[in-house]
């Protein structure tokens, strides 16, 4: 194979970002569109990989709520056991008639103590029952302090939602006064919050059809893609991130068929600062080959109405029009 499958010059940007170098071709998508990594970890026992606070902060609200209810019941049962152990005659005000009702009253006394609601019909009158109750109230306050912290940690996290255009497109665009071809996608801030100092980074995972491994498969390389503009200071609404396909690009000179054979996956990291939550935000996204449209241009979503009012139409973020392009190399360069 004499022809070089892609620009070797671009190999200088070869990346070990994901902890592996060139690998074989059979792999699935590495980064899911929700930003999680598509790989399995093994070799560590569960207790080394599990952190209770991390779980409580990241678990779904329903799971958290279940954990809290289970904990609440459990602590109550433990204290019920203690009250029985020191003798329930230490509690005054009980009106039960059956043993089950008695258990219920002790349980509810415990709950009233743990939550510090303390109505007082049920109240501790013996020494040990009083001592346990005063300890239970302390445990209750500590527990709710922890829960307050966990709830705060959860919603103090900026709920940044960047909307990515459904497709990335390979399209002509004007750059430094010339018509060139670019690989581009579009993002928008779903919320009305202020994101500042947005930064884009793209690592492409590409099959190198020139280099075969022991089993005759093309190897997969990880290359950083240069961008027309890496950061923007203001980010009021939308941004089109563009990788210009110039001689530094691994895609330079490819035809549509080359591009398909290369099976590129674009792994994207957007970072920025959320002003409302005073927080750095990171968003990962990925476009696989099926989501990259060859020969297409995004429609404009920014316009001024007749009164000069700027308007952005996020409903058209995904919309593009087909454009004919032949090969990712200028004719003069061929």
Residue 109 or 254: the one with the smaller Cβ distance to a copy of itself is 109
Residues of span 65-124 touching a copy of itself by CB under 8 A = 68-69, 72, 76, 92-93, 95, 101, 104-105, 108, 111-113, 115-124
Q: How far is the CB of 26 from a copy of itself (least distance, A)?
A: 4
Kindly tell me which of 14 and 291 has the beta carbon lying closer to a copy of itself: 14
Nearest residue (CB) to a copy of itself, 228 versus 256: 228
Which pair of structure tokens corresponds to residue 125?
Answer: 């009158």
- The least distance separating a copy of itself from the CB of residue 329, rounded to whole angstroms, comes to 25
Q: How far is the CB of 174 from a copy of itself (least distance, A)?
A: 9
Find the shortest distance in angstroms from Cβ 101 to a copy of itself.
7
How far apart are alpha carbons 103 and 109 in whole angstroms? 10
Query: In the complex with a copy of itself, which residue's Cβ is closer, 199 or 323?
Result: 199
Q: Which of 127, 172, 195 is nearest to 327 (CA)?
A: 172
Least Å from the CB of residue 256 to a copy of itself:
24
Q: Which residues pair with 218 in a beta bridge?
A: 212
Q: Does 329 bind a copy of itself (CB under 8 A)?
A: no
Give the β-pairing of 320-322 and 296-298. Answer: antiparallel
The secondary structure of 228-252 as a DSSP string is S-SEEEEESSEEEEEEE-STTSTTT
The nearer residue to a copy of itself, 12 or 332, going by C-beta atoms, is: 12
Closest among 77, 148, 85, 70 to 110, alpha carbons compared: 77
The CB density around residue 181, as the number of other CB atoms within 10 Å, is 25
Between residue 246 and residue 285, which ones bind a copy of itself under the rule CB under 8 A? 267, 269, 271, 273, 275-280, 282, 284
Shortest distance (Å) from residue 229 CB to a copy of itself: 6
Q: Token match 């008695």: residue?
A: 102
Q: Would you say 295 and 168 are in contact if contact means Cβ atoms under 8 Å apart?
A: no
CB closer to a copy of itself, 49 vs 255: 49
**In the bound complex, what is the minimum distance in angstroms from residue 243's beta carbon to a copy of itself?**
15
Looking at residues 214 to 243 of the shown chain, list those that interact with a copy of itself (rule: CB under 8 A): 229, 232-240
118: left (phi over 0), alpha (psi -120 to 50) or beta: left
The site for a copy of itself, by CB under 8 A, has a size of 123
Give the residue among 293, 299, 294 at the shortest CA–CA distance from 320.
299
Specify the DSSP class assigned to residue 318. Answer: T
Residues 139-178 that bind a copy of itself (CB under 8 A): 140-142, 144-153, 155-159, 161, 163
Give the residues across from 285 on adjacent strands. Answer: 268
């Amino acid at each position: 194979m004499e022809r070089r499958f892609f620009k070797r010059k671009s190999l200088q940007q070869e990346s070990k970002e994901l902890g592996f170098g060139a690998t074989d071709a059979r792999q699935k998508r590495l980064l899911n569109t929700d930003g999680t990594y598509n790989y399995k970890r093994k070799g560590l026992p569960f207790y080394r990989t599990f952190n209770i606070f991390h779980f409580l902060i990241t678990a779904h609200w329903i799971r958290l709520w279940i954990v809290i209810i289970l904990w609440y019941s459990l602590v109550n049962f433990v204290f019920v056991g203690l009250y029985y152990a020191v003798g329930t005659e230490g509690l005054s005000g009980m009106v039960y008639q059956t043993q089950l009702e008695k258990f219920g009253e002790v349980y509810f006394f415990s709950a009233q103590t743990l939550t510090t609601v303390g109505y007082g019909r049920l109240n501790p009158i013996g020494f040990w029952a009083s001592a346990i109750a005063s300890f239970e109230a302390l445990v209750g306050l500590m527990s709710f302090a922890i829960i307050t912290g966990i709830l705060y940690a959860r919603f103090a996290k900026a709920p940044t939602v960047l909307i990515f255009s459904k497709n990335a497109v390979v399209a002509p665009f004007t750059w430094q006064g010339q018509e060139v071809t670019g690989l581009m996608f579009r993002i928008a801030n779903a919320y009305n919050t202020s994101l500042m100092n947005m930064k884009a980074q793209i690592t492409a995972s590409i099959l190198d059809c020139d280099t075969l491994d022991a089993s005759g498969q093309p190897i997969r390389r990880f290359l950083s893609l240069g961008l027309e503009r890496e950061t923007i200071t203001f980010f009021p609404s939308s941004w089109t991130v563009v990788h210009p396909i110039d001689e530094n690009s691994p895609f330079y000179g490819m035809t549509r068929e080359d591009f398909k054979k290369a099976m590129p996956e674009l792994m994207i990291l957007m970072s920025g600062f959320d002003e409302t939550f005073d927080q750095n935000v990171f968003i990962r996204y990925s476009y696989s080959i099926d989501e990259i449209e060859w020969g297409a241009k995004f429609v404009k979503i920014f316009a001024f109405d007749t009164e000069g009012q700027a308007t952005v139409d996020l409903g058209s973020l995904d919309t593009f029009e087909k454009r004919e392009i032949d090969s990712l190399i200028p004719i003069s360069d061929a």
